[in-house]
Amino acid sequence: MEYITYDYAIIGAGAAGLNLALCMLEDPFFDDKAIVIFDKDLKNANDRTWCFWEKGAGRWDGVVSHKWGKAVVTDTNTKQYTLSLDPFTYKMIHSDDFYRFAKDKIRASGIIDWVTAEVEQVNIINGAQEIQAQKRYLITRHTFDSRIASKFNHDTSSIKLLQHFKGWVVETDAPAFDPSAFVMMDFSLRWKDTTSFTYVLPFSATKALVEFTLFSPDLIQNEEYDTMLKQYVTEILDIKKYNILASEQGVIPMSDYPFHHQNNDSLTKIGTAGAWVKPSSGYSFKNTERYSLRIIDNIKKGLVPSKNIIRKKYRYYDSVFLNVLYHRNELGPELFTIMYGKNPIEKIFDFLDEQTSLLDDIRIMNTFPKAPFNKAVFRKLVS
């Protein structure tokens, strides 16, 4: 059998794989390295909308299609909190724009080979990785793998919530949206006894993405998301006439499963498969950028690429919060309203970005009710 040899292989040209590939292209350290990226798909569909917050200009501004400087959170009693995000901006990217941008850079570079094929097996041979992908065989020194381990689906020892949602891009004849502020969480309409809310990204006064979202252990039926969306649009937004231009659906695992335990000297799990999704929020796009840069830094220092990319303090906080949401799912609306209503938004974004001091963390934690969190800590201690 004839093998092609690479220094690095990236399995999956999604958010994580492409981000890592672009970080490699931007660093001259990788100019003389042989790199390959695999994806089973062509990566040209607009299959998701990514949003994230950041201060000032950012590396994706060329593909950002919308930005907002204000966010609205509405509690279960329909009380609204309008938050000025300054110095942050909330930015949105259509995935097809991101894929096109990344693919163009990769193709133009001549440094990274792009292979459209499904990776079927990865084996360790003499400390190197052997990758099999539809009759292609190659050897690589290190593999970055965004396939989610099948063990995750059968694991019963971790907490597993799902962030699941369906959204409609709605267009109206008359002005119905405030394009200067997006709705982060509107808890005025909920699926019974769950952490559920509506998220609205207004593109103009007459067009918005309206998404009904749940953080819960189980999915609901497709028609049930539609019922909730219809109720939100007609009753909460009081829109009588509208067209649905497109829809988006997704499921994001929110779990304390130790995805990163599979990492070793020659393999790093990346993206959702590597625990890059923040378990308590489901956001991962900015983590992807941060963690990719940490990997690059580790490689250049001769360290194991996955060393310290996940910060333990925050994983502990996430696991406690997830434990509360799992066992007291109905508390989510109150907890998120406290989080955004009683803390400066800048501190919350820093906290979710894992950039806060211990004193900041304590201040934020003190705004939450103690009992459910103490019980979660106790459950974790005895489990």
Instruction: Please give the residue ranges that form the binding site for ligand FAD (CB under 6 A).
Output: 11-17, 38-41, 43, 48-52, 118-119, 146-147, 248, 250, 252, 271-273, 277, 283-285
Based on CB atoms, which residue is closest to ligand FAD, 118 or 155?
118
Minimum separation from the CB atom of position 369 to ligand FAD (A):
27
Based on CB atoms, which residue is closest to ligand FAD, 183 or 376?
183
Based on CB atoms, which residue is closest to ligand FAD, 172 or 280?
280
Q: What letter would DSSP give residue 22?
A: H
Q: What letter would DSSP give residue 41?
A: S
Would you say 266 and 129 are in contact if contact means Cβ atoms under 8 Å apart? yes
Q: Where are the alpha helices (DSSP H) in 86-149?
A: 95-109
Sign of the torsion formed by the C-alpha atoms of 364, 367, 368 and 371: positive
Minimum separation from the CB atom of position 241 to ligand FAD (A):
27
Q: What's the chain's length in residues?
A: 383
Q: Which of 134, 101, 128 is nearest to 116 (CA)?
A: 134
Q: Which two tokens stand for residue 179?
A: 């394009």
Minimum separation from the CB atom of position 361 to ligand FAD (A):
21
Minimum separation from the CB atom of position 201 to ligand FAD (A):
9
Q: What letter would DSSP give residue 232?
A: I
Based on CB atoms, which residue is closest to ligand FAD, 252 or 296?
252
> Which residue is at the shortest CB distance from ligand FAD?
14
Minimum separation from the CB atom of position 383 to ligand FAD (A):
27
Q: Which of 228, 237, 169 is nearest to 196 (CA)?
A: 228
Based on CB atoms, which residue is closest to ligand FAD, 13 or 237?
13
Based on CB atoms, which residue is closest to ligand FAD, 12 or 333?
12
Strand-pairing partners, residue 72, are 82, 183
Based on CB atoms, which residue is closest to ligand FAD, 51 or 335?
51
The backbone torsions φ and ψ at residue 197, rounded to the nearest 5 degrees and listed phi first, read: -165, 170
User: Burial code of 74-100, b = ≥16 C-beta within 10 A, e = fewer?
Assistant: bbeeeeebebebeebbbbbbbbebbbe
Based on CB atoms, which residue is closest to ligand FAD, 51 or 208?
51
Minimum separation from the CB atom of position 92 to ligand FAD (A):
8
Minimum separation from the CB atom of position 116 to ligand FAD (A):
9
- Strand 35-39 vs strand 112-116: parallel, antiparallel, or unpaired? parallel
Based on CB atoms, which residue is closest to ligand FAD, 17 or 372?
17
Neighbours of 115 (CB within 10 A): 19
Based on CB atoms, which residue is closest to ligand FAD, 172 or 255?
255
Q: What is the Cα–Cα distance from 224 to 217, expressed in whole angstroms?
A: 16
Which amino acid is it at 26?
A: E
Minimum separation from the CB atom of position 189 to ligand FAD (A):
20
Residues whose CB is less than 8 angstroms from the CB of residue 271 and which lie 6 or more positions away in sequence, other chains included: 12, 14, 15, 16, 17, 146, 277, 284, 288
Minimum separation from the CB atom of position 276 to ligand FAD (A):
6
Minimum separation from the CB atom of position 32 to ligand FAD (A):
26
Helix, strand or coil, per DSSP, at residue 25: helix
At residue 33's C-alpha, the angle toward residues 131 and 60, to 5°, is: 90
Q: Which two tokens stand for residue 367?
A: 């705004």
Which amino acid is it at 12?
A: G
